[in-house]
Structure 1
């Protein structure tokens, strides 16, 4: 089979395609013939920053072609999606059953990778914000694979006003088309009227600005791998809070919640209430191009590899 690897840290240029044996599923694992692979900012950052190369894992969707010992929930021929921690940029990938979920017949593999993992992160971050109907929301990275879903979910949750924060004013039309009432860029002098909660996928220098955008008693949910620092005084004076959210903790520690959220996402998709957008699809040998789109913050929606 083919898979994408890299031998040293760097940009999109360090990715290369190689031949590798098809892996064997171990206990509790599925071997999936990958039909779509989601490209995410955390993986792109790891290629750029990690000293030692890692397996390019992430979101996959496709057909089960073999099952490991002890697997009873899935059989050969089932269509599944989920998160793999091994090699995901490949023709075949191993997926643990705890991270797998079925793909409805009405959905494609591309739909699945655009919706499920990104949607779970967006939905979980929203749940962490404890939104109340009628509150105002702000979503950073609002044109990203996660952010464009978070924007829609905030509206579905009853937000009275949804502000999209983006890196480039050229993304404003895309965000407004998904329901944003207003669009701001990160470097704008003002982000407008205060909001009740912020879903922040950017971190870094954007995080303190997100806190500054809050009304008294407001909440920022930080779910970015970009870090960031907030002064305690800035929280104290407005009784504001910053809440960390990490999807892996939910998947491992609260599987019943994880499953419930997945079902709700599929329900919203199948009724047409939630619309994942795919920026573009790329062949495995074009993985470098896909990473370049993410690095350049040029994507409008999800970037997907098609093995």
Structure 2
């Protein structure tokens, strides 16, 4: 099989033997692979990292003890290593079936990014009647978060983006207002910030909160918050990690996932795919995300 190897010189395609599924695992012939920001950040920084991410494709073998899936079924899920490959392994717990009529690209654009957006939304608490600001609003997760905030009855939805040329895109997914990171003032304060960026953006994001407002931090970008910035307005920061929900609350994780497919099937949420790259162009896919030019999900495909 073809797969992508990561070393000190970047990303390279090479041939390797397909993996074997172990107990509780599925071997999947991949059709689409979602490129995730945490992996892109680590590769760009030259850090050792496993090339994991969302994958979607057909089950070609199952390991011992697998009961919920069969060979020939189409599935999607999150793998934690060797995801940039024509064949990869998913644990049964992280896999779900792709509904009839949905493509592999649909699946990697919706499920993981949508779960993170849904989880951040839930962590924020009651949003009906409140104003909400979403950072990285044009990203794979951000544009879904905009739609969930709107569906949840937010009184005002603000999209924060890196450049003005993304304004039309985010307005198309429910934003009432658009601000850019470089603006000195982000407008009228909001009740909730859903922050997918972190780093240097944390300070202006905290400043954008109204008194008693709350920020949900779910970025891999790190960053530091000054205690005084919270105290002065009685503001709150809530940390959210999707992996903890998947590991500790599997029933809730599954309900969120099925809910996303239901919303998509009903036409209540849409997903945007910024670009599709063949597997061998994984480095170009990473470059697109590093440049912050993507509008929606960036996907690698293994076939035509």
Structure 1 and Structure 2 fold alike (TM over 0.5): yes
Let me know the Cα RMSD of the aligned residues. Answer: 0.9
Which residue does the alignment assign to 2:64? 69
Please, which runs of 5 or more residues in structure 2 have no aligned partner? none
Q: How much has 1:55 moved relative to structure 2? A: 2.6
Given candidates 18, 21, 33, the residue that maps to 2:17 is 21
Contact 1:5 1:55 in 2 (8 A): no
Please, which runs of 5 or more residues in structure 1 have no aligned partner? none
Mapped pair 1:210 → 2:205: yes
| Runs of 4+ residues over 4 Å off in structure 1 | none
Secondary structure of the residue that 1:15 maps to in structure 2?
strand
Matches for 1:222-237 after TM superposition, within 5 Å: 222-237=217-232
Secondary structure of the residue that 1:190 maps to in structure 2?
coil
User: Any idea what the Cα deviations from partners look like across 1:40-81, whole Å, max 9, x if unmatched?
Assistant: 1111011122543x3311100011000000000000011110
Given candidates 142, 147, 154, the residue that maps to 2:149 is 154
How many Å separate the matches in 2 of 1:226 and 1:27?
A: 34
Which residue does the alignment assign to 1:118? 113
Q: How much has 1:132 moved relative to structure 2? A: 2.8
Which residue does the alignment assign to 1:4? 4
How many Å separate the matches in 2 of 1:222 and 1:246?
A: 9
Mapped pair 1:302 → 2:297: yes
Secondary structure of the residue that 1:205 maps to in structure 2?
helix
How many Å separate the matches in 2 of 1:122 and 1:50?
A: 28
How many Å separate the matches in 1 of 2:188 and 2:102?
A: 39
Given candidates 247, 269, 272, the residue that maps to 2:264 is 269
How many Å separate the matches in 2 of 1:220 and 1:120?
A: 18
Which residue does the alignment assign to 1:58? 53
Q: How much has 1:148 moved relative to structure 2? A: 0.8
Contact 1:36 1:61 in 2 (8 A): yes
Which residue does the alignment assign to 1:37? 33
How many Å separate the matches in 1 of 2:166 and 2:46?
A: 30
